[in-house]
Structure 1
């Protein structure tokens, strides 16, 4: 899911940015060609897919620059709106990892757009930092200076990636987070991402040489986003499991919900779990103990499926407090 959202997020943003660059550099063809070449070589691919990438970049530069004005502005707006859905998808993943309720529609979209603008700023910095050492090696004499430049670039890229993951693990979950419980997952994710950025071009050249053209570009890009999403979820799981002691679900989420229907006597799987609280009747002494008013399971289920009596009682208490 995250890989798909990453794909539909970055491509519209990239196309819109390419269109803006094409409009700005319209009267500077040499500079435009140099920018195109640098953009093409940023992507981890070999010569078999360079043609497909070049076609996409040329289309974005040339066609969108002709459609300047209102059409380009509308395109940028819809690109940003579609891109913000990525962070809503990340928010949904975090609700599963941390067992949290989702935000309201307004709060969810405010978070999505805020994280999107931060994402637009920091991703080019990560890509530039990862490609800067190779660009500077030709200007620095001596093996020691080149090695130091390479290490400095990698360290800077690692720091930027750490800030990126830390911001996601800190702000996206719908609960109060702290650096104490998020730093390890951010560090592991940042380090894994740096290793992945270095090794992925080698993987493409070795195992994906038969993918050519635009189809090969799409396949490679989707694979890149899949591993990136895996790294993102891995860091969140490390934080939740080792630092906040969240235990993994015994079965898949669908199987888990099926067990909840069976345990609480709902019967028909097509009925909502909270449709009728009167159906929940413990039949054994063990079940009565597990669903007692003081048990953690009863408290958790009341939060998941609040009854009308509970809701009215809480509203009365809130009214008394306001008075």
Structure 2
């Protein structure tokens, strides 16, 4: 009975039609995509605090005495998380907005230095992940750091724009009474945030791989990753309010933050895999990465023995 099912035309047609998607899943699995996501999430975590200090510090300087706008941005960030861990998050944000505002010059100098150090390691980790995904040669030591510095400063421009853009709908909704105008404001804010997120992923996919990339090869993964991240940002607060309310205090904040960073990293890896497989036609490894390297080493050792 089973052999008859496998030999039917319907089964063979379904098998042929789904082959590219099965190979894509195999590439994700054999490239250790979840492990790479964990590595990026860890580097994001180590870069997060210095980056947050400098970003919120710069925002505090730009916004100056605009207390209403500062509070609106604070609330938008805090409301992403469950109420029970808001105190922990509020302390970090208040540190950035208030203390950095009063001690801006000295603190921002140290913030910049630590941010650069932490973010360099983050972008080098992303570079290593894309090296595996695209099967390309690693950059030389100095080239890695020069590229990381360039992308770091691009991110310093993009991330504040993303934070401010996401806050605009909430700010103007309090001033607009008309339902249609309020909806238009939210829709414009969503599209602006989507575009900036797309730009962020496009920069990663276009600049970081150690090969010449074109917009044609990177746009699809960037827009899918940006859309997935926007949906994730919408539904993640509902998820943690429903399933993670038992995680409270500093421990709860850490668990939820790590979970958020891991999914963000996986979305980024997924976009890169889409570009590599569907646009670069890079096929999956026949076995998982560790086993594949083991076989390469065994073949290399055998050839070395035969040569001697």
Q: TM-score range by the shorter chain?
A: 0.7 to 0.9
- Choose from 154, 164, 170 the match for 1:134: 170
In structure 2, do the counterparts of structure 1 residues 200 and 280 end up closer, same or farther at CA, with 3 Å as the change threshold?
A: farther
Instruction: After TM superposition, list the pairs within 5 Å mapping 1:130-279 onto structure 2.
Output: 130-264=166-300, 266=301, 278-279=304-305
Greater RCO structure (CA 8 Å; 6+ sep): 2
Structure 1 gap ranges (5+): 268-276, 282-323
Query: Are the counterparts in 1 of residues 72 and 171 from structure 2 also a CA contact under 8 Å?
Result: no
Please show how residues 6-85 of structure 1 align to structure 2 within 5 Å: 6-18=44-56, 31=66, 35=70, 38-43=73-78, 44-61=80-97, 70=106, 73-85=109-121
Change (3 A) 1:48 1:33: farther
Segment of structure 1 superposing worse, 39-48 or 203-212: 39-48
CA contact (8 A) 2:63 2:70 kept: no
TM-score after normalising by structure 1: 0.74
- The C-alpha deviation readout for 1:259-298, integer Å capped at 9, x for no partner, is 112233x16xxxxxxxxx64356xxxxxxxxxxxxxxxxx
Checking the alignment, whether the CA contact within 8 Å between 1:137 and 1:146 is kept in structure 2 is: yes
Q: Using the alignment, how far apart are the partners of 1:105 and 1:92 within structure 2?
A: 12
Question: How many residue pairs are counted as aligned between the two chains?
Answer: 268
Aligned Cα RMSD in Å? 2.6
Alpha carbons of structure 1 residues 64 and 179: separation in structure 2 relative to 1, 3 Å: closer
Asked if the contact 1:137–1:149 (Cα under 8 Å) also holds between the matched residues in 2, the reply is yes
CA drift at 1:70: 4.8
Larger helix percent: 2
**Paired residues of 2:69 and 2:171 also in contact (CA < 8 A):** no
